[in-house]
Amino acid sequence: MSSPRIIFAGTPDFALASLRALVAAGHIPCAVLTQPDRPAGRGKQMTASPVKQFGLEQDLPVLQPATLRDDEQVAALAALEPDLMIVAAYGLILPQAVLDVPRAGCLNVHASLLPRWRGAAPIQAAILAGDGQSGVCLMAMEAGLDTGPVFACESITIGERETAGELHDRLAQAGGELLVRHLDDIVAGRLDSEPQDDALATYAPKIRPAEARLDWQRDAAELARMVRAYNPVPGAWFMLGDERIKCWQAHPVAGSGAAGAVLAAGPDGIDVACAEGALRLERLQRPGKRPVTAAEFAAQVDIAGRQL
């Protein structure tokens, strides 16, 4: 059987792992779709996505439509006569006209164990909820949000102190491997898909920075999960006077006091009382500064005995 004609649609590093796996396995896309270049960094320079950068390095045709909702874009995709479109963290909604273009449909690489955590931020949601397992699924796309039937899944145990960034990298790698393992069978119709149980569905909406604020009226264990879930984006934070302090590493410890009271500040960390227990802050960052250990932070800022 000849290699299937594939359109790949993706934008960030999560998608890049799947694209790399495809190319390494000899499945060279006939086209790559990715989001238009965006301003990035302090200088706000127009920057190509990781998928575009790799696509250009591999001499792949790269397309960057601002929308897929016009007839001209649909016709251009249809002219490629794809067998399959593979979508991973693309960032644009695929209308039904696009979903109908590939002979074998559109296949999504999704970073959760569907139907748990449909939506934009499944990795963070799994950590916030205290899930012991996460994973990746290969899902046949349809008009609903992550509602399509699932061809295959791979489970991954979430580490006790694993951050969203660390879990993201493991899931991205697993997604690429799962995709290559099952791609030929999916295109040939040899692998059946299983419908999702909508009654078990949970949703992971896009994260807003305000949601990453640490509220000391919550339990320490919950706040520790927030620190992990929002590392590296957008970064958990709290206010110390007029400064917004980001917290990159913390864990719950025994302790009691008025919520927000700094109970101790020593070489092991800064303990802050919560509704239940205390949160030991271990790595912190002041605005415009580099991240430092809590011991370094306490040497720079008079924090012992403060009320946050």
CATH number at residue 244: 3.10.25.10
In this prediction, residue 305 carries a pLDDT of 85
For 98-148, the pLDDT digits (tens) are: 999 999 999 999 999 999 999 999 999 999 999 999 999 999 999 889 999
The pLDDT of residue 307 is above 60: yes
pLDDT computed for residue 266 by the predictor: 87
Residue 307 lies in a domain: no
- C-alpha–C-alpha distance, residues 112 and 134, integer Å: 6
Question: Can you give the pTM of this predicted structure?
Answer: 0.95
Alpha carbons 138 and 111: distance in angstroms, whole number: 9
- Determine how β-strand 278-285 pairs with β-strand 292-293: antiparallel
CA distance 5 to 80: 8
Determine the 3-state secondary structure of 119 from DSSP.
Answer: strand
**How far, in Å, CA of 305 to CA of 308, rounded?**
10
Do 10 and 118 lie in one domain? The reply is yes
Task: Write out pLDDT tens, residues 273-305.
Answer: 999 999 999 999 999 999 999 999 999 888 888
pLDDT digits (tens, 9 = 90+) for 1-60: 568 899 999 999 999 999 999 999 999 999 999 999 998 877 788 899 999 999 999 999
**Arithmetic mean of pLDDT over the chain:** 95
Selection from 62, 76, 73 nearest residue 32 by Cα: 62
Total domains, the chain: 2
Single residue among 182, 204, 226 that ends a domain in this structure = 204
CA-to-CA distance for 103 and 186, rounded, in angstroms? 12
Domain carrying residue 33? 6-204
* Residue 178 pLDDT exceeds 90: yes
d(CA 220, CA 234): 20
Is the same domain home to 152 and 268?
no
